[in-house]
Amino acid sequence: MPTRNDIRNVAIVAHVDHGKTTLVDAMLKQAGAFAAHQQLDDRMMDSNDLEREKGITILAKNTAVKYHPKDGGAPITINIIDTPGHADFGGEVERGLSMVDAVVLLVDASEGPLPQTRFVLRKALTARLPVILCINKTDRPDARIDEVINETYDLFLDLDADEDQIEFPIVYACARDGVASLTKPENGTVPADSTNLEPFFSTILEHVPAPTFEEDAPLQAHVTNLDADNFLGRIALLRVEQGELRKGQTVAWIKRDGTISNVRISELLMTEALTRKPAEVAGPGDICAVAGISEIMIGETLADPENPIALPLITVDEPAISMTIGTNTSPLVGRGGSGKGADAKSGVKVDRKVTARQVKDRLDRELIGNVSLRVLDTERPDAWEVQGRGELALAILIETMRREGFELTVGKPQVVTKEVNGKTHEPVERLTVDVPEEHMGAVTQLMGVRKGRMDNMSNHGSGWVRMEFVVPSRGLIGFRTEFLTNTRGTGIAHSIHEGHEPWFGTLSTRNNGSLVADRAGVVTAFAMTNLQERGVLFCEPGTEVYEGMIVGENSRSDDMDVNITKEKKLTNMRSSTADVAESIVPPRKLSLEQSLEFCREDECIEVTPETVRIRKVVLDQKDRGRTASRAKKA
């Protein structure tokens, strides 16, 4: 079969924070993608605000570098897909892998293969893609290169890799310094026999197969991602499998339901570095973007009008976690962070979106570009069940909507169960925990309460222990905060979906109840001083509260209704203790993820552009009491 030797398509896959985006930055700089006068940021591929804030890749993105071989041959275009390292964004990984012919598996020289490494590698091996192993961060003081390579071989064997797949080349790199070598350096050192990424580029050219195609085959191009442009409208990112795609060409658009209609390509764009530039033609193996098809969806095919042949649809794993997202139903709806109108913090008036129609339209828009998400109707017309891969993926969606001006009510995360042979099965996770030896007992006890089953334990002799547990997904809701507390902030935990197992039974994860405001008003320092011995407070003086809003965590297991708006009475009597200053313990500020972890079944979260509040589903104190008494009698 003919091949295109001027192109290589490769995806970089790894666990979170093992250096994918840093490596892509170094490749772009060394391939001459930027002029000398250009000001460059770190992690240029993380263009999303949330990606920069959280330090993780959320969206799969592509870039292209022109590599000029040292032997003076013609320049070769290397298309690089930077994929997320978190299993919650697995839909992005699967789409990215459908565009490439090989993967670079990046592994930290100290941490070694972790759960997300297993996840992305399993996807690559299933797709029969060749693998290049890159051991990154060789300069870490605690690097253990030989052990990490052996662990990676074990992982390949564990995932049933065949003989061809396990014979992979190994590159050693320090992506931060832009240095790579084929010779193993000493632990804790930068490769000494190289000053750049030349060995890495040459390994890609040698081991990544060039795209193959059939002569005179009809056009076939697979839509793998979507983007939007203010001038061009919806843009479809696709890989041309066969034939040629030209600007102005009329093509057959094969939709998900099998129907075919003819459309015209109004604009054809090719990626160079971080920008898309107009092009006239794209051939087999090219990754390009087209405009002019306003309703096109991921997984659909552009084909020859005379001989339309559809490519297989992209399939992704089933969702494991769900939560209810609806309109904001609190008494402070539409009134800002302080409850008094516009955004009090920034002074910017927010365009608030509070109606059910606006929320539903936004969720429908999210479905267009996010193939791993599902939105189902509920009994209420203003709330929908949103299902996704994990808690983080759904929290990112809520945070994005919040920044766009939406006000939402979000329910406690639940697991998505399924029936197998008449029995209820629930999703389980494989949790890998790295902790200092002295905290091993605390973690084991914590996992025992959450029905975790220890699968493996290893001690590297450095004072740290690695433990692997199989645990129900609902046991990990609210786990992270308690885990960090028990390990004094030193523990590292990562989990990945491991399939479904029979229902594990009742779990009780949060032992403490809530402090619930029993009336509307403004929080006072006097009331906080009296209440802080009852538990941990979440509000500061001056915050507006309403009946049913949770203002703190009780030190006991049951809920307590409190008056946090109580004022100090003024009298004309003098007292020896009247002017004693009371000290207030600083309140605990909960982020959106922490609020989702804290939430109980009868609680939900009010999300606005300025604040995140936890509240009872039933706000009225008497109604909650009646419901509780009925439940006891039943």
- The pLDDT-based confidence of 327 (bands split at 50, 70, 90) is very high
- Tokens found for residue 345: 């913090």
Non-local (6+) Cβ contacts of 311 within 8 A are: 220, 222, 241, 301
Percent of the chain with pLDDT over 70: 88
Query: What is the tens place of the pLDDT at every residue in 214-259?
Result: 888 888 888 887 777 777 777 888 888 888 888 888 999 888 888 8
Q: What would the pLDDT profile of 159-180 be if each residue is shown by its tens digit?
A: 888 888 888 899 999 988 889 9
Poorest-confidence range of 317-321, 571-575, 617-621? Answer: 571-575
Q: Please give the C-alpha separations between residue 382 and each of 243, 374, 407, 618, in angstroms, as whole numbers.
A: 47, 17, 12, 16
pLDDT at residue 23 tops 50: yes
Q: In the prediction, which pLDDT does 44 show? A: 45
Q: Is the confidence at residue 47, as pLDDT, over 60?
A: no
Integer CA distances (angstroms), 9 to 85, 118, 187, in order: 19, 22, 31
84 burial (CB, 10 Å; 0-12 / 13-18 / 19+) is buried
**pLDDT of amino acid 577:** 55
pLDDT for 39 equals 46
For tokens 């040459």, the residue is 202
Cβ-count burial 196-233 (b if 16+ within 10 Å, e if not): ebbbbbbbbeebbebbebeeeeebbbbbbbbbeeeebe
**What is the strand order of the sheet 61-67 is part of?**
61-67, 76-82, 7-14, 102-108, 131-136, 170-174, 179-181
- The yes-or-no verdict on residue 24 having pLDDT over 60 is yes
CB distance 124 to 117 below 8 Å: no
pLDDT tier at 439 (50, 70, 90 boundaries)?
confident
Give the gyration radius of the chain's Cα atoms: 28
- Given a cut of 80, whether residue 287 has pLDDT beyond it is yes
Does the pLDDT of residue 357 top 90, yes or no?
A: yes
The DSSP call for residue 452 is: -
- pLDDT for 87 beyond 70: no
Alpha-carbon distance of 303 to 250, in angstroms, equals 10
How would residue 576 be classed by pLDDT, with cut points 50, 70 and 90? low
Q: Is the pLDDT of residue 446 over 90?
A: no
CA atoms within 13 A on the CB side of 225: 22
pLDDT of amino acid 40: 47
Sorted by sequence, the CB contacts under 8 Å of residue 2 that are 6+ apart come out as 212, 213, 214, 215
pLDDT (0 to 100) of residue 80? 85
pLDDT at 172: 92
With a cut of 60, say whether residue 374 has pLDDT above it: yes
Residue 343 confidence (pLDDT) above 70: no
Four-point Cα dihedral 591, 592, 598, 600, nearest 10: 160
Sign of torsion over alpha carbons 439, 441, 445, 448: positive
Checking if the pLDDT of 346 tops 80, the result is: no
Please compute the mean of the pLDDT values over residues 604-612 and round it to a whole number: 90
Q: Check residues 20 and 452 and name the one with the higher pLDDT.
A: 452
pLDDT at 337: 52
Q: Name residue 342's amino acid.
A: A
Average pLDDT score, the chain: 82
Name which of 162-176, 338-352, 530-544 the model is least confident about: 338-352
Please state the rounded mean pLDDT for residues 275-286.
Answer: 86
Its pTM stands at 0.74
pLDDT at 460: 67
